Amino acid sequence: MAKVKYHFALNDKGQIIDIADVTEETKHDKYYCLNCGDAMRPRLGSKNAHHFAHISTTPDCNPETYLHKLAKHKIKEKFDSSATFEISLHQVSKCLDKAICPFYKEEQCQSTDYKTYDLHKNYDTCVEEQVIDNYQADLLLTSSIKPNTPPILIEIYVSHKCEEAKIESGLRIIEIKIRNEEDIVKLLQSPITEYEEYSFDKNEIKCTFFNFNKSASDEKLEMRDIPKFYLFRSGSAYVSNMEEYPSCREVAKKDNKNAVLELGIDSFYLGNPSIYELGYAKATSLGYDVKNCSLCKYRKEAFDSYMAVPNICCLYKKYNTPQYPKGSEALNCQYFRKNTESTNLLKSALETATIIVCK
């Protein structure tokens, strides 16, 4: 741990004084360490940062304990003197239509946002070192007006994390990691905010919320974009580009007057079979007489693609058919034969894919 310079001390009235507030007129007042209680003097030199120093050359004072006590005192001071005392934590909203939406996937159809709450609306008491359910809290927030309000424990963590038994007790706990005095100052300037697990901000204060309700009210969300398949009278088809995918709320609406069939397709298969092939297979199952080179037994794949797989006709040398035919050329091809093996694969894929007919 980096060496701590004490920027705070107690005056003879027991008030916490910031070195920044000490002037030439007040530097001779009496100051004491808020941890060990020994006398301190302000250092207001021009070379080093201003700070308080123990008068004793061998003080029995642990800087970590100093930070712990300072954080407790300053947080309590803010709670007791501020009009608001806010926390901000992650809460998860699930889609309101989860029970009826065919494309609902729990891991995708939810939104995580910060929700801010003013604890003063439910808590009016902050006590240091209070015992509750056999656990001692650094700070305990309770309500004198509504005693049944679940208490909140604020735990300051300099080098020792909150014990597992306390966390598993079910008590609501806010654990705050303090590395230096700057963390404490920053903490007082904004809501106590839940730490972002994958944050790259080294200066972010690590605040962890245990046993809080992280579920927010369900909302109408648009979290997913769904591929759309269009079938035309010519037998040709089109799948929307990724940047054109309609949202899960819009995909069910028909939007192409020239298409004889529109499908919204959500598949676990990435490329094999393609969205095109799934669309053709679904169209066939719905009674459409679909002929397309992608379904022909004499077709080979040129390369794999999520959207479509170009065709190579195996008969182009023998019967002078197009080497790279468009899929719709199967409509007028006398050699077109459906590939039984791929048809069976597509039937299996249809069972796991979610496909709706747009209306």
pLDDT band of residue 308 (cuts 50, 70, 90) is low
pLDDT band of residue 231 (cuts 50, 70, 90) is very high
Q: Is the pLDDT of residue 358 over 90?
A: yes
Do 45 and 110 lie in one domain? The reply is no
Q: Is the pLDDT of residue 269 over 60?
A: no
Question: What pLDDT, on the 0 to 100 scale, is given for residue 309?
Answer: 55
Residue 315 lies in a domain: yes
- Residue spans of alpha helices (H) in the chain: 63-81, 164-168, 181-188, 275-285, 316-319, 340-352
Which residue, 152, 183, 210, sits at the end of a domain? 210
Cα 2 to Cα 40, 63, 86: the distances in Å are 21, 10, 30
- What integer is the mean pLDDT of 58-71? 92
Query: Which one has a higher pLDDT value, 144 or 106?
Result: 144
- What integer is the mean pLDDT of 221-238? 88
Do 200 and 243 lie in one domain? The reply is no
Per-residue buried b or exposed e for 9-43, using 16+ beta carbons within 10 Å of the residue's own CB? bbeeeeeebebeebeeeeeeeebbbbbbeeebebb
pTM for the structure as a whole: 0.70
pLDDT band of residue 99 (cuts 50, 70, 90) is confident
Do 87 and 182 lie in one domain? The reply is yes
Residue 353 lies in a domain: yes
Span of 138-147, 213-222, 238-247, 305-314 with lowest mean pLDDT: 305-314
- Contact present, 302 and 309 (Cβ < 8 Å): yes
Do 97 and 13 lie in one domain? The reply is no
Dump pLDDT digits (tens) for 318-341. Answer: 999 999 888 878 888 999 998 887
Rounded distance between C-alpha atoms, residue 178 and residue 246, angstroms: 46
φ and ψ at 243, to 5 degrees? -70, -10
Residue 235 lies in a domain: yes
SS3 content of the chain, % helix, strand, coil (to 5): 20, 30, 50
Do 248 and 351 lie in one domain? The reply is yes
Do 202 and 249 lie in one domain? The reply is no
Number of domains in the chain: 3
The boundaries of the domain holding residue 256 are: 228-357
Query: Which one has a higher pLDDT value, 6 or 352?
Result: 6
Across the beta sheet with 86-94, the strand order is: 110-118, 86-94, 192-193
Residue 72 lies in a domain: no
Residue 326 lies in a domain: yes
- Quick one: how far is CA 194 from the chain centroid? 11
Q: Is the pLDDT of residue 274 over 70?
A: yes
Residues paired with 261 in a beta bridge: 231
Question: How many C-beta atoms surround the C-beta of residue 285 within 10 A?
Answer: 13
Do 104 and 137 lie in one domain? The reply is yes
- What integer is the mean pLDDT of 108-119? 90
Do 192 and 304 lie in one domain? The reply is no
Q: Is the pLDDT of residue 187 over 80?
A: yes
Do 279 and 352 lie in one domain? The reply is yes
Span of 75-84, 289-298, 304-313 with lowest mean pLDDT: 304-313
Question: What pLDDT, on the 0 to 100 scale, is given for residue 199?
Answer: 65
Q: Is the pLDDT of residue 112 over 90?
A: no
Do 237 and 278 lie in one domain? The reply is yes
- What integer is the mean pLDDT of 284-312? 76
Q: Is the pLDDT of residue 305 over 60?
A: no
Q: Is the pLDDT of residue 42 over 70?
A: yes
Residue 71 lies in a domain: no
Q: To 10 degrees, the CA torsion angle through 242, 198, 207, 155?
A: 130
Question: What pLDDT, on the 0 to 100 scale, is given for residue 102?
Answer: 92
Residue 170 lies in a domain: yes
Do 165 and 204 lie in one domain? The reply is yes
Residues paired with 30 in a beta bridge: none
Residue 46 lies in a domain: yes
Rounded distance between C-alpha atoms, residue 107 and residue 199, angstroms: 21
Do 311 and 345 lie in one domain? The reply is yes
Which residue, 175, 210, 245, sits at the end of a domain? 210
Q: Helix (H, G, I), strand (E, B), or coil: what is residue 349?
A: helix
Q: Helix (H, G, I), strand (E, B), or coil: what is residue 53?
A: strand
Q: Is the pLDDT of residue 255 over 60?
A: yes
Question: What pLDDT, on the 0 to 100 scale, is given for residue 306?
Answer: 45
- Average pLDDT of the residues of the chain: 89
- Contact present, 10 and 31 (Cβ < 8 Å): yes
